[in-house]
Amino acid sequence: MKTSQFIELLSSDLQPIRRGVVGRTLALALLIGGAAAFGLMLVTVGLRPDLFEGASSTLLAVKLPFTVSLIGIGTLFLIAASHPGRNARRRLALAFLPFLAIASLALGAILLATPMAREDMVFGPEWLTCVICIPLFAIVPFATLIWVLHLAAPTDLRRAGAGAGLVAAALGATAYAFHCPGDSLPFIAVWYGLPILFWTFLGAILGPRLLRW
């Protein structure tokens, strides 16, 4: 087909474009994904029984700052990655900061603890549930985020996939935090950090397959 005919085709019946479509769908995807993760937490493991009896201090002081900052950084990255021509790389690199912070805190806590207490700090209550639930809770958010990226125009599919995995797992971890009985810093660093990193890498692998356009 001649390119001039082709251009005629594309410009025939041109519809006006509403502004900010990508931002709106992204907000919707985060909302649906987050609600699904939270709902799944409620029906499977349920809220931590002592959540409203003073047990929420670690949740507010450590778990949520860690996971929510990852959601924030990852979302800013996904906005940039959805728009061709924006420098998104630097924004994804920022995600190292929360990991660095939680890792240093965990290391400090381990060094300060007695050798006897160290193992209990890492292999705290329900660590296995934690590594299973967080990746599981991340599945729906990942699907909704991939849907958003599919409607947008990511040009670095590996990074875009990694960003979707990161945000999805951070949403899953946020939901799980409302159940999580483990309160030590090393516990959070390891059993929250690893599933989130796992989903980030999985997203990087799936990105090029799922997001081609």
Partner 1 sequence: MDAKATERELQSLMIEGLGGDAVAYKTLLSKLSGYLRAYFRGRLARMGRGTVDAEDLVQEALIGIHTRRHTYDPSQPFTPWAYAIARYKLLDHLRRTKVSIKDLPIEGAEELIAHDDLSDAESAFDLQRLLDRISPKMRQAIQYVKLDGLSVSEAAARSGMSESAIKVSVHRGMKALALLISKGRST
Binding site for partner 1 (CB under 8 A): 1-19, 21-22, 82-86, 152-153, 155, 212-213
What are the C-alpha distances in Å from 159 to residues 82, 91, 211? 11, 11, 11
CB of 212 to partner 1, least distance (A): 7
What are the C-alpha distances in Å from 182 to residues 63, 171, 174, 204? 10, 18, 14, 29
The three-class DSSP label of residue 136 is helix
The three-class DSSP label of residue 154 is coil
CB of 162 to partner 1, least distance (A): 17
Q: Of 22 and 103, which has the nearer Cβ to partner 1? A: 22
CB of 149 to partner 1, least distance (A): 11
Q: Of 57 and 87, which has the nearer Cβ to partner 1? A: 87
Q: Of 45 and 162, which has the nearer Cβ to partner 1? A: 162
What is residue 180's DSSP assignment? -
Yes or no: say if 185 and 204 are a contact pair by the CB < 8 Å rule: no
Q: Of 10 and 116, which has the nearer Cβ to partner 1? A: 10
CB of 154 to partner 1, least distance (A): 8
Q: Of 96 and 213, which has the nearer Cβ to partner 1? A: 213
Reading the block at residue 26, the tokens are 């992204």
Yes or no: say if 199 and 166 are a contact pair by the CB < 8 Å rule: yes
CB of 146 to partner 1, least distance (A): 14
Q: Of 8 and 120, which has the nearer Cβ to partner 1? A: 8
CB of 140 to partner 1, least distance (A): 23
Distance CA 106, CA 139 (A): 27
Distance CA 72, CA 13 (A): 39
